[in-house]
Chains A and B, each alone.
Chain A
Amino acid sequence: MKSKQYSVKVFETTITDEKQFIEFFDTNYALFKDHLILIKGTLSSDIGAYLKKKPLNFLHNQMIPVGRSRKALESELNIQKIESDVNQQIAQEEIKKLSTRLQNNLTVLDTIIRSGRELNIEGDLLLLNRVNSGATIHTTGNLIITQVVEGALRCDGNFMMITASPKANIIFHGVEVDNNLLADKLNRVELKKNEILITPVIKKEINWAL
């Protein structure tokens, strides 16, 4: 967008005596031809025709923004800037919150986590192998494990996906998860409104042959 900025000289007046007005403008035309004439109050058609004929630029009963001192302008600009900064910060925080809920520093591992190993993961973890008894995994983000867990899990993310793991010790946001609730083939554990919700993702296969 292209734009220019002008300061315009405005002559504001109210007409009381039409003759006197015309006389005044006739004599001072040289001065007023560069001015914008702002007329308040009534404006008769004669005067309107006179001003158009002259020609003089004029407005009738219109509000015109009046310039302020530089200091007043600067302080207002400053306030505006601070406000926009604050808004931007809030927006960024919202985006950050959203992104941690979705995905955050995903680590993908396909190694067996053996006894004695302590994994501390900043962010999310996708593990495609077993967690053996005596091993510990701690994630700040979400946790998905596709095989049996016999060790300890500490997850502070938004959700966990865990296979049926009767021997595991699982703590989700500081609360111990009952292994009996993780009976299905794949279970989702999530935090909703400060409550831990466990829902089956893949149901346990029922073996009719038994």
Chain B
Amino acid sequence: MGIVIAVISGKGGVGKTTATANLGLGIAMNDKNCIVVDFDIGQRNLDMILGLENRVVYDLVQVMDGDAKLKQAIIKSKVNENLHFLAASQSKDKSVLESKKVEKLVAELRESYDYVILDSPAGIESGFEHTIEFADAAIVVVNPEVSSIRDADRAIGILDSKSQKVKNGEEVAKYLIINRISAEMVQSGEMLKSEDILNILNIKLVGKVPEDKGVVDASNQGKPVILDKKSEAGQAYTRIAGRLCGQKVDMKDIEISNVGLFKKITGMFR
């Protein structure tokens, strides 16, 4: 029996899909059997970021409707054989999702994989609700800015009231990833500090990812940034994936890491 993790954010464009792709690959690199599922029906992106765009034949909706078998629709990654992918439908919209069908699919995936990662659509509409409904845990991705935090706060509120696990009297585990942190801006006070974000959202931090120009290029090429050993964002995702696999990885304080010696000295005399 595997664990089902929904990646949510509330606000769009904060890096949910990028995080899903990188964490999926990171978990697979830790020798765990992992599948990433794109739940953003009508606006699928995960296939491109994973570089599996041209291999999609059947999608999630066809599997749920019984038009295709699950085995036919699941795509194996070229990069890592432990990583699998199930694409969203690009032609339908979110209204095609039904609770019972989602539950059946999630149960089937849970049987055969160690980690099932669901990439939620942005917003808090039915698509989002179906994604979180049967998840055991949620990873909340935020950017250090007020709009992203408020939307994430709302998404967590809905998660806490609509999830099946909560309805059964259990608790959904919630983990926070703060994405696109710029150390300079945090230090100059232009960007929210991680402490403040944690105070507001009051959930467990699983990792911080620094702003990294390489991420866009990596996504465009279909090679998740985690494959680039030199990239700071890639290293951050490697650490988070390790934590999700139960390893003890120390938190690296990326908010002060890239201040040079010269700046430190000038800072002293300021």
Residues of A that sit less than 8 Å from B by CB: 112, 114-117, 129-130, 132-134, 150
Contact = CB atoms under 8 A, between A and B. Distances in A.
Interface in B18-42: none
A144 B186 CA distance: 33
A130 B150 contact: no
A134 B202 contact: no
A158 B202 CA distance: 31
B153 interface: yes
Contacts of A115: 150-151, 153-154, 157
Nearest to A134: B150
Contact of A134 (B153, B158, B160): B153
A167 to B, nearest CB: 10
Interface in B145-170: 146, 149-151, 153-154, 156-158, 160
Contacts of B200: 130, 132-133, 150
B54 interface: no
B188 interface: no
B266 interface: no
A2 B77 CA distance: 100
B202 A130 contact: yes
B91 interface: no
A112 B153 CA distance: 10
8 A-B pairs closest in CB distance: A114-B157, A115-B153, A115-B154, A116-B154, A114-B153, A132-B153, A115-B150, A112-B202
B156 A130 contact: no
Contacts of B202: 112, 129-130
Interface of B: 146, 149-151, 153-154, 156-158, 160, 199-200, 202
A130 B157 CA distance: 13
B157 A117 contact: yes
A116 B146 CA distance: 15
B157 A116 contact: yes
Contacts of B160: 114
Contacts of A116: 153-154, 157-158
Contacts of B154: 114-116, 134
Nearest to B161: A117
6 contacts: A115-B150, A115-B153, A117-B157, A133-B149, A134-B150, A134-B154
Contacts of B150: 115, 132-134
A132 B157 CA distance: 11
A133 to B, nearest CB: 5
A103 to B, nearest CB: 29
B126 to A, nearest CB: 16
Contacts of A132: 150, 153, 200
Nearest to A111: B160
A133 B202 CA distance: 14
Contacts of A133: 146, 149-150, 153, 200
A129 B158 CA distance: 18
B156 A114 contact: yes
A112 B156 CA distance: 11
Given A115-B150, A132-B200, A134-B154, 11 more contacts: A114-B153, A114-B154, A114-B156, A115-B151, A115-B153, A115-B154, A115-B157, A130-B200, A133-B153, A134-B150, A150-B200
B132 to A, nearest CB: 14
Nearest to B151: A115
Contacts of B157: 114-117
B128 to A, nearest CB: 13
Which of A115, A130, A150 has most B Cβ within 10 Å? A115
Nearest to B160: A114
A10 B154 CA distance: 90
Contacts of B146: 133
Most chain A C-beta atoms within 10 Å of own C-beta, residue among B153, B156, B158: B153
Contacts of B199: 130
A170 B160 CA distance: 26
A114 B156 CA distance: 8
Nearest to A112: B202
B22 to A, nearest CB: 27
A129 B153 CA distance: 14
A51 B146 CA distance: 106
